[in-house]
Amino acid sequence: MGRVSAIPDILTWPGEEMTRKRVAVLISGRGSNMASLIEAARDPDYPAEIALVVSNRPDAAGLAGARAENIETAVVDHTVFTKDREGFEQAVQAVLEQHRIDIVCLAGFMRLLTPWFVRQWEGRMINIHPALLPDFKGLNTHERALAAGVKEHGATVHFVVPEMDAGPMIAQAKVKMHEDDTAETLASRVLALEHRIYPLALGLLADARVRLVDGHCRVEGALPDDNALLVLRG
């Protein structure tokens, strides 16, 4: 994957100092999006550093990838907190605070989060979802897009709000459907673009070029809008 070396200098936010934000990536599995964020953050000009990777599964493949990059990792095993979602989240929150995290990126993190946790990170927590939101929230998005016969599909980076996959969008990547697409071919084309839009969106947030204001994704100089700020076409 190519590096995202610079966020296009389309906007400035007066009075903002450029300090690299400390980011935690929350994963549950292979962590390819996590890897794309780590790769982008290798560039010293990128406004965020990946300071921590947290997994709710001790066997998540992404943990090894993070360790290989000398990134701190933590496992908060949700199975230990049977029927105690808040207890699990308090443990995650404690790790995030201990590492002085500024921004949380969910990247294939397969736990629903309570309003309490979401509130702790309001405007500072983003997620990547493999569909063009608001379509196909939830799981099995590629299969559902194929079954619905849509012409375009893709991925969305959005702010996290208490309702699942519903927060204001920062960036989308779109692909055209091919006649012979299967869920696998579609997933692989979409994933390649996920790896490009997630670093872009995190860069914009870390640079304070996008913010969550009154429930909307705002960028200085732009009109209030519910549409994604960036749209990438594959």
- Among this protein's residues, is 195 annotated catalytic? no
Given 11, 20, 22, 29, the residue binding ligand GRF (CB under 6 A): 29
Catalytic residue among 129, 142, 158, 195, which?
A: 129
Instruction: Say how far apart CA 184 and CA 122 lie, in whole Å.
Output: 34
Q: Does 104 bind ligand GRF (CB under 6 A)?
A: no
Task: Specify the residue, 62 or 123, whose C-beta has the smaller distance to ligand GRF.
Answer: 62
Complex with ligand GRF: residue 90 or 181, whichever CB lies closer: 181
Q: Can you tell me the distance from the alpha carbon of 179 to that of 124, in angstroms, rounded to the nearest whole number?
A: 39
73 is a site residue for ligand GRF (CB under 6 A) = no
What does each C-alpha distance from 134 to 66, 158, 168, 205 come to in angstroms? 31, 11, 10, 21
Length of the chain equals: 234
Specify the DSSP class assigned to residue 136. S
Query: Which residues in the 34-63 window bind ligand GRF by CB under 6 A?
Result: 34
Query: Cα 127–19–38 angle (5° rounding)?
Result: 45
Among 23, 53, 107, 160, binds ligand GRF (CB under 6 A): 107
SS3 159: strand
CB of 110 to ligand GRF, least distance (A): 8
Taking CB under 6 A as the binding criterion, the range among 29-37, 91-99, 159-167, 177-185 that sits at the site for ligand GRF is 29-37
DSSP letters, 23-39, are EEEEESS--HHHHHHHH
Q: Residue 58 CB, nearest distance to ligand GRF (Å)? A: 15
